[in-house]
Structure 1
């Protein structure tokens, strides 16, 4: 039960920060999206995002900073395994399933629903 509460709290705080950025600054949703992915990657690179993942579980991995974390942590793992070439393959391996799901579901939604003209 505690894991669910922490996921809710951590995920909710990330969303609140994003909403506040859009409401109180001139940042657009696209700016916030890029900012969150980059911040997730930076925090992961310096070792600060993994403790948040351990505390919040899906509340930290599902929002956009979690994608940046997955990119960086996948790259670092792959570099440890195979060296220099891991720079190119690590991020792709770590995020392939999520990207594939987004493309497939986007295609299915586009096929099923008609856009407004």
Structure 2
């Protein structure tokens, strides 16, 4: 099953750091994560040097998983140019386009 995550809650950092990232790193998540989209302050996870973001980026490079930050959120926080290399910013149309080549079976919002 291919899943995509949308991170919009303040608890996203904890969920990613303690649950999802370790499962992905260990190959035991149970689903193929094809993309992650970050809103509001969750975009700080994608800033270069953030340990959780760097972990996710390693998984993304290995698996082809998409990491994307909300463009408006990143520009408002003035971090769009500080994201981990290869992590684009965009809006829903960009997300749809980026994931159009894979069959997304489920979208999970956390």
Q: Return the structure number with greater helix share.
A: 1
**Bigger RCO of structures 1 and 2 (CA < 8 A, at least 6 apart):** 2
* Superposition TM-score, scaled by structure 1 size: 0.29
Larger radius of gyration: 1
TM-score by length of 2: 0.31
